[in-house]
Each structure stands twice: as C-alpha cells, then as structure tokens.
Structure 1
Amino acid sequence: MQLNQGFTSLRSRYVLAILIFFLCLILGSGAMHLFFLLNGLTIEDSSSLYELLENKEQVNLVRVAFGISHLIGFVLSSIIIGKMLKRSPFETTSSPTSQFDPKVLMQWFLLLLLCYPLAGLLGYWAGKIPLPEWMSAMDESSFQALEGLIKMDSPLQLMANLLIIAIIPGLGEEMLFRGILQAQLQLHVKKMIYVVFLSAFIFAAFHLQFVGFFPKMIIGLVLAATYFYTGNLWYTIGIHILNNSFHVILAYVRPESIDSQSTEMPFESNQQLIVLLTLPLIYWYFNHIKKEKLNGGSA
C-alpha cells in the first residue's frame, strides 16, 4: 500500500512538473509580448516578427525579448521544478565532490566536433524527404527567424547574440533537459543507452524542426552521454555554449555562412562517403574518453 502511494505521489509530482514547465513557457511568451507592447511593438504573426528582425533599430529589442522568454521558460521553470522534486539541476549524479576540469570539457566537446559532419549529412538527407506543406513552413519559419537574429554588423551585436543565442539557451536548456529530465531518467532507467537516447530524443523533438531534428539529435546524444558519464551539469552547459557560440562567431566572421547552414547545404557523393567513414573514429574516441572516466582518469 505504501509503495503504491509512493508511486502515485511521484507520478503526481512529475505531472505537476510538466504543468509548471508549460506554465512557465506561457508566462515567458506573455512576458515577451508585454516587453514588445511596452516598447510600442506588436507581434501578430511570423511575418511581423521578420519585419522587426530586418529593422536594425528594433532587432536588439527582439534579442532582449527572446532572452526574457527563455529565462522564464527554462531557467525559472527548472529552478521551481528542482525545488518541487527536492533535487537541484546542478546536483551531481556521480561523486558529490567531483571537480570541474576544463580538460574534460574539451575532450567531450571534441567528440561533438567529430560529430558535426554526421549531423550535417543527416540534416541534408532529411531535407530531401518530401514533407507536408505545414511541416516545411514550420522549418522555414524557424530558419528565417534565426537568420534574422544572427545577422550582425558590430562587435556589440556579436556580444548580444553570444548572450541570447549561446549563453542563456546553453544554461536554461541544460538545466531542464539534463539537470532535471535526464537526472530523473537516471533514477528510474538503469541502461545508459535508453537514458541517453530518451534525453536526446526529447531535446531534439522539443525544437519542433523536422530537418533540424536529426542534427539536434546528434548534439543531444553527445550532451546526454557527457552528463551520464561525468555527472556534472557544468560540462554539458559548457559544451552547449561552445557549440552555439561557434555558429554565432562563424556567422559574424563569415556572414555568407548563414545560408550554408540552411537545409539546402549540398553533400556530394564522395563527401557523404567520407562522412560515413568518420563513424569508426567517433566510436573509438567515445569509448576512449568513456574508459578514461570509468578508470578514474582525467576524463
């Protein structure tokens, strides 16, 4: 009887956690629209958002609004859910005395870099799949919004984008998807492969992009594996921030690269073969850093 009551109580807390998260998303969206209204702007549909993004005087307001929305939707929700579940997102899942090591961060980030070509190829293949018009429109809308946001013509805008696109999402999304979601999965699912896959799948699916789903799934797999083996959220936060920062800085240094990040990026047959040949390298390197961690080494 007590076991059944405990399960019911736990299930109720998880349902409440989901409700809190979506409530915070709604509050974040409301705060974003309120911020626009206070600055004399309105967002009625995606086209009006694109118009704001094209206006150099107003794009910074959009950046601030997005930042506010993300802080409420992800950071605030993670803190509240963590309090309710009595487990901070930053609580380690391995040794509570484990120290952050920059070398370990770079080892796992290198794994993500090795996966970049594979992620790009999967996105290219996904882009070749005929989609319903509404799915294509959703993907295109998402890319256009990012394209408008990521255009920069000054160091100040670069710093703003690093904060809004790299740092805040890197912090908030990792607090939620790894610090809350994956930590709870690891309490109930013992097999690493299931935990990592579920965490990565939910992370990728939440972004609501079909073509972008597969590249984000690859990123999610690396982040989930990093968290599983290190037990320290700061590693996944660091990797997430480095990953997003890489693309922001690339867009600043080479503005023409923005178009190359779309679903139209070509892969010649020989390039596809080379990418597939990197799979053994990825597998070997993953096992290498995993064994170092399990053997008590620096990784």
Structure 2
Amino acid sequence: MAETDILRITLLIQDLFLFILTPLIAQFLLWEESTSMTLQLRIPHFSILLWGVIAIISIIPLIDQLNSWNQSIHLPEFMSSIEKWMIDSEKAAEDTTKQLLNVNNWSDFLKNILIIAVMAGVGEELLFRGVLQKIFINWTQSIHWGILLAAIIFSTIHFQFFGFFPRVVLGMILGYLYIWSRSIWVPVISHAMNNALTVIFTPNTFNKGNHLIETISKTQNNIWYTLGGSILFAFSMWKIWTYYRRETELSIES
C-alpha cells in the first residue's frame, strides 16, 4: 500500500475514533439530555446555513493575511532552539500535507474530499464546538470566553505554530456560527467547505494548468479581496446574529 494511502487511513481512523466517537461518548456521560439536544443536531434554516458558508468563504482572504503575519513572528534569541524546533515541525507538517494533496486522479481527489473535508468537518466540530466549547462556556459562565478557549485548543491540537493565530480566529468564527445558528450543522458544513476549498485550490498534479485555480492563487494577500471579503463576512455574521437574537427573544416570550 502506498504511503499516502496509509496516511489517509490513519486520518480516517483518527476522525472516526478521536473526533466523532469521543464526543458522542462524552455527551452521553456529561449531560442528561439526548444527543440531539446536547449537540444541537437540529436541521438549520437553509438561509442561515447559506450565510454561514458565505461567512467562511469570504473571510479566507483575511485569514491568508493573518497567516502571512503569523509566519513573520520570531521568538527572542534565547529561545532560538525552540523556534528551530517549531520551524522543523512546521516543515514536516507542510511536507505531509503537500504529499497528501498532490493527487493525480479523481479517486484520490475524492478520498481527500471525504477525509480532509467531510470527516474532519464533522468530527472536529462535534468535539471542539459540540463538547469542549459547551464545557468551557459552563465553566466560565461566558459564551465569549468559552468560544475563545475552545478555539485556542482547536488551534493548538493542529501543531502548526506559524498558523496558530489564524486558526484561533477561524475556530472562534465556527464557535459563533454554532451558538448563533443553534445547529451544529452550520459550523460542520462551513468547516467542511473551508477544507474542501483547500483540497480543490491547492496547486498539484491533478489540477495543474487549470486557469481558475491559477487565477485564484494570484489573489492571495490582495488587499482589495481582503477588504471586500471582510465586508461580506461581517454582513453574513450580522444576518446570523439577528436570527439568533430573534430566536432568543421568542424563547424568552414563550
């Protein structure tokens, strides 16, 4: 079996047991409510789901800008050995990711969509937003602190130090999508879409020569795309927040 296939199987097992089975067991042990109630498995309004996906897509240019800034951060001289270890770890993770994404046929491409986008989107949201975020909110008695702490753990567990802050921001966005939409499926599908775009638009053997992908790759760190995306992101989140506020007021009145 090819090394890349072994890597995919490893990720699949990780998604199934660590990110899907673990939160399902945790919610059963920690809370008396049903799984559907605890994890908010209700089907969301289509418009809210759509705004959630738009929010994630539109914030990508800003995330790219934050990623460039994060990579420029250097530790003090006395911590140079730690920084070297971080750089080596980051390089190893980057090489593994490139190996996984450098496909040359439809079969491997669809496998990556399933494992990197769908399975990761479902599993990571169940664990980080469905369970850990709820624990932190209950512990701190604050939605905002709970979302921030869950996002920090979400970013830390990826062990990509030079993408730490952008991933914290992404985790916080997913956290608010979960709270404001009142459905786990909004962050799940938004997360899966974000990962799917990475699979689709990362230059590799499979998509080499695709003009759309080459054009989009040239827009990275473009200030106008970042500004336009940020405005659309803010509007999308506002639409979801107004839905949350309206639903909260209706719950109080009833």
TM-score bin (small chain): 0.7 to 0.9
Cα distance in structure 2, aligned partners of 1:110 and 1:89: 31
Pick from 133, 138, 160 the counterpart of residue 182 of structure 1.
133
Q: Tell me if the contact between 1:78 and 1:180 (Cα under 8 Å) persists in the aligned partners.
A: yes
In the alignment, what sits opposite 1:86? Answer: 31
In the alignment, what sits opposite 1:19? Answer: none
In the alignment, what sits opposite 2:95? Answer: 144
* Structure 1 stretches of 4+ moved >4 Å: 87-90, 255-258, 276-281
In the alignment, what sits opposite 1:101? Answer: 45
Amino acid at match of 1:91: S
In the alignment, what sits opposite 1:72? Answer: 17
| SS of equivalent residue, structure 1 residue 121 | helix
Cα distance in structure 2, aligned partners of 1:90 and 1:228: 17
Q: Tell me if the contact between 1:90 and 1:233 (Cα under 8 Å) persists in the aligned partners.
A: no
C-alpha distance 243-127 of structure 1, shift in aligned 2 (>3 A): same
Amino acid at match of 1:121: Q
- Structure 2: give runs of 5+ residues left out of the alignment: 76-82, 249-254
Cα distance in structure 1, aligned partners of 2:228 and 2:149: 26
Cα distance in structure 1, aligned partners of 2:58 and 2:71: 22
Cα distance in structure 1, aligned partners of 2:198 and 2:20: 22
Deviations 1:250-282 (A, max 9, x none): 236645879x98xxx974xxx347635754554
| SS of equivalent residue, structure 1 residue 212 | helix
In the alignment, what sits opposite 1:128? Answer: 72
Amino acid at match of 1:186: I
Q: How many pairs align?
A: 234
The answer to whether 1:118 aligns with 2:45 is no
CA drift of 1:193 comes to: 2.3
Amino acid at match of 2:12: G
Provide TM-score, normalisation by structure 1: 0.68
Provide TM-score, normalisation by structure 2: 0.79
Larger Rg: 1
Cα distance in structure 2, aligned partners of 1:232 and 1:87: 19
C-alpha distance 228-234 of structure 1, shift in aligned 2 (>3 A): same
Cα distance in structure 1, aligned partners of 2:225 and 2:103: 33
The answer to whether 1:219 aligns with 2:170 is yes
Amino acid at match of 2:63: A
Cα distance in structure 2, aligned partners of 1:266 and 1:226: 25
Structure with the greater relative contact order (CA < 8 A, sep ≥ 6): 1 or 2? 2
CA drift of 1:148 comes to: 0.4
The answer to whether 1:169 aligns with 2:120 is yes
Amino acid at match of 1:112: I
Cα distance in structure 2, aligned partners of 1:281 and 1:190: 31
- Structure 1: give runs of 5+ residues left out of the alignment: 1-38, 40-56
Cα distance in structure 2, aligned partners of 1:140 and 1:163: 25
Pick from 148, 158, 176 the counterpart of residue 109 of structure 2.
158
Question: Which moved further from structure 2: 99-108 or 136-145?
Answer: 99-108
